[in-house]
Amino acid sequence: MSNVFEGYERQYCELSANLTKKCTAAGALNGEQKKQKVSEIKTGIDEAEALIRKMDLEARSLQPNVKGVLLAKLREYKSDLNNLKTEVKKILSGNLNPSARDELLESGMADAMTASADQRTRLMVSTERLNKTSDRVKDSRRTMLETEELGVSILQDLHSQRQSLLHAHNTLHGVDDNIGKSKKILTNMSRRMNKNKWIIGGIVLVLVIAIIVILYFKLSK
C-alpha cells in the first residue's frame, strides 16, 4: 500500500466527518449564519474533491494488483462525497416557511443524516474489507518473493552441484588418460622384458654350444 495514498485517505476521512457535522449544524441555522456555514461546507467539498483527485492519480501510478484495491476504495469515497453534495443541496433548498423548514429538519434532514451515517458505516466496512484484501495481497506477494528467493537458491545449489560433477568428470577423464599412459608404458616394458629374455636365452645357448665345442676338441686330442 502507498504511504502517500494512505496520507490522503486519512485527510479525506477526517474532512468528510467534519463536513457531515457541519451539514447537521447548518440545517438548524438561518440567515447569514447558514450562508457562512454552507460556504464553509462548499470549501470543504472542494478540498475533498482535490484529495480524491490526488488519491486517484496516486492509485493509477501503482502496480495493477494494488491499483485495483485502491480504486475500489475511491469509488466508495466518491459516493460518500456525492451524498455530502446532496445534503448541501437540501440545505440550500431551505427557502421555506418556518413550519416547512421545521418539517424538513425533523424528517428530510433526519433521513439524510441517517442515510449519510449508513453510507459512512458501509464505507468503513468496505475500507476495512479492502484493507484486509490489501494485506492478503501483501502476504501473497511476500510469499511469492520468498518462493522466488528459494527457487533462486535451489538453482544456485544445482549449478554448484553441476560444476562439481563436471569437475569430477574432468578429474576422472584425467585419471583415465593417466591409466592409458601407464598401460602403454607397462606394455612396452613387458615387450622389452620378453625381448631381453630372448636375447639372454640366445647368449646362454651360444655359450653352451661354445663350451660343448671346446670340450669336444679337448677330448678329441
pLDDT for the residue numbered 116: 55
pLDDT for the residue numbered 150: 82
pLDDT digits (tens, 9 = 90+) for 82-141: 998 888 888 877 644 455 445 544 554 555 455 555 556 666 665 666 666 667 657 756
Q: What is the pLDDT along the chain (221 residues), one digit of tens a residue?
A: 578 888 898 999 999 999 888 888 887 878 888 888 888 899 999 999 999 999 999 888 888 888 888 888 889 999 998 998 888 888 877 644 455 445 544 554 555 455 555 556 666 665 666 666 667 657 756 777 787 888 788 888 888 888 888 888 888 877 778 888 888 898 888 888 888 889 998 899 999 998 998 888 888 86
Q: What is the pTM of this model?
A: 0.45
- Long-range contact set of residues 9-12: C-beta below 8 Å, sequence gap at least 24: 9/55, 9/73, 9/77, 11/51, 12/48, 12/51, 12/52, 12/55, 12/77
pLDDT for the residue numbered 43: 92
Decide: 69 and 141 in contact? Cβ < 8 Å.
no
Sorted by where each starts, the structural domains of the chain and their CATH numbers stand as: 1-94 (1.20.58.400)
pLDDT for the residue numbered 96: 42
Distances (CA, A) of 95 to 34, 100, 101: 11, 9, 8
Would you tell me how many other CB atoms lie within 10 Å of the CB of residue 110? 13
Distances (CA, A) of 40 to 32, 81, 137, 188: 12, 15, 39, 111
Q: What is the mean pLDDT of the chain?
A: 80
206 vs 60: CA distance, rounded Å:
110
Percent of the chain with pLDDT over 70: 79
